[in-house]
Chain A
Amino acid sequence: MTRDSFLTVLKKNAMLIVLVLVYLFFWVLTQGSIFNPSSFTELINQNAYVYILGAGMLMCMLTGGNIDLSCGAFVCLLGAFGGVFMIVNGWGTGISIALLLLVGVVYGVILGFLIAYVHIPPWIATLAGYLAFRGLGTSILSANSKTGSLAPFPVDFQNIFYGRIFPTEKGVFNWPCFLFGVAAAAAITLIIFMNRSKRLSKGYEADTIVKAAVKSGLGSAAVILVMTRLAMDGGIPTTLLWVAGIVLIYSFITSKTTIGRHFYVVGGNMEAARLSGVNTRRIMFLAYLNMAVLASIATMTVVARSQSAYADVGKNFEMDAISACVVGGVSASGGAGTVLGMVIGATLIGVINLGMSLISLDANYQRVVKGFVLLAAVVFDILSKQRSK
């Protein structure tokens, strides 16, 4: 491998390398606690909302650096609705979930219409939600509870969003979890090699056999490692299924579908996209409708985990989602970024958060670290843009 190609590989996988280094750093600092099975479960459960909202924020940012400031406050409002539906009114879990998704769709339609067709700048339209929804959610909670929070949510609701598949006792090896990991690793290897042979058969450039083998080996090893640790902690969390499902769906949409490519085209040059026949208004509308629906799903994972709806839920969620995207390489100008990048960004932030809480780092220091991470990511983006000019 030449020096240039080594540097190219380093540059292309910079965030992944940073993630590994940060993980190793916290491994030393926590004396191995971050490698405990429970830490892996906690990483997934604690950060599920970042992956889910990150997928939505990615689609918004792809359209031209647009963001949604209201998603965190919307989680608070939806949590309040969920509490009223399931705890105060005693409605069934199924009907409550359907209603929460419906509320998400309604909000998404209104927001998408205002942004795409009335041409209100996204940051203004969503700022209104950011300011209004938390107040509204807090009012609903106060009106229905003396303590200002509603709990507990029904057990079946918690099992759907914070349960385990084929649960076993902690410490007992969960074979279904491990076998699921092996199957996922086999699927990754198959997909990488199938993509490679498809590209070669069409005459495109493709990775060498060695590169493809290394890629699939590392990916499979990571998946098997994670699933093995989860297998020692009682099994597959249902949160992981939600996150994995959403990540896979959006990965497919952004890389294999026409409409996914349209998001990139609109973000690259909206005028050129419009003149090429892309319905740019529909893409903007879909970006924000999609974000609202994903916020509904994120709400359900969050309230199921906390087992209550309370006024502070969703605080700073929008900044976490934006951080995950920016750290993961999604361009602030739009038109560039991948779901995998967002996942790496979200995982990096999750590892930093988990590591800081495992070493019981002071809340003020945690705020400083988060601020530095976001600042570094934005500065990196600004410098990259200047260099490319």
Chain B
Amino acid sequence: MNNGNARASLIGIVGAYLLYTAYDLFRNEAGADTTMSPAVRILFSVFFVLAGIALLVLAVRIWRRSAKEEKEQQDRDDERTGIQ
């Protein structure tokens, strides 16, 4: 597994965790004890949803770039082998 894929996975997982945090906030996992007003909770949920999606999109872009670079490297190696 190349570094680009691993980096994309890590960024994607952080993005997924932020989406999970947004879901927890939206569902109000703290229950009745919370001092956070519903409006503030929703605001933070929306922020984390947007941040999570942004990281997931970035992860996909890194993964696709990494896959493209790997393919180009493979083609170059094949060409070199062909010449030899």
Contact = CB atoms under 8 A, between A and B. Distances in A.
A67 B9 contact: yes
A268 B25 CA distance: 38
A333 B3 contact: yes
B36 A364 contact: yes
A367 interface: yes
Interface centre among B10, B21, B33 (most CB of A within 10 A): B10
Interface residues of A, number: 32
Nearest to B58: A382
B7 A374 contact: no
A374 B4 CA distance: 20
Given A121-B1, A364-B25, A378-B14, A332 B30 contact: no
Interface string A338-380: 0000000000000000000000001111011011001100100
Bin chain B's interface residue count.
20 to 34
B3 A67 contact: no
B35 A371 contact: no
A334 interface: yes
Contacts, number: 93
A65 interface: yes
B21 A363 contact: no
Contact of B10 (A119, A322, A362, A371): A322
B2 A367 contact: no
Nearest to A316: B17
Contact of B14 (A66, A364, A365, A375): A375
Contact of B9 (A121, A267, A374): A121
B38 to A, nearest CB: 11
B21 A362 contact: no
B6 A378 contact: no
A371 B9 contact: no
Interface string A300-342: 0000000000000000000100100010000011110000000
B3 A65 contact: yes
A295 interface: no
Contacts of B30: 362-364
A385 to B, nearest CB: 8
Contacts of B11: 332, 378, 382
Contact of B35 (A64, A333, A362): A362
B58 A66 contact: no
B81 to A, nearest CB: 15
A65 B17 CA distance: 17
Nearest to A370: B21
Interface string A266-278: 0101100000000
B72 interface: no
A121 B5 contact: yes
Given A65-B10, A362-B33, A362-B34, A334 B58 contact: no
Interface in B43-70: 44, 48, 51, 55, 58
Interface of B: 1-7, 9-11, 13-14, 17-18, 21, 24-25, 28-30, 33-36, 41, 44, 48, 51, 55, 58
Q: 5 closest Cβ contacts across the A-B interface?
A: A65-B6, A363-B30, A123-B9, A364-B36, A65-B7
28 contacts: A61-B10, A64-B6, A65-B7, A65-B9, A65-B10, A66-B9, A69-B13, A119-B1, A123-B9, A269-B3, A319-B17, A332-B10, A363-B34, A364-B25, A364-B30, A364-B34, A364-B36, A365-B35, A367-B21, A367-B24, A367-B25, A368-B21, A371-B17, A371-B18, A371-B48, A371-B51, A375-B14, A378-B11
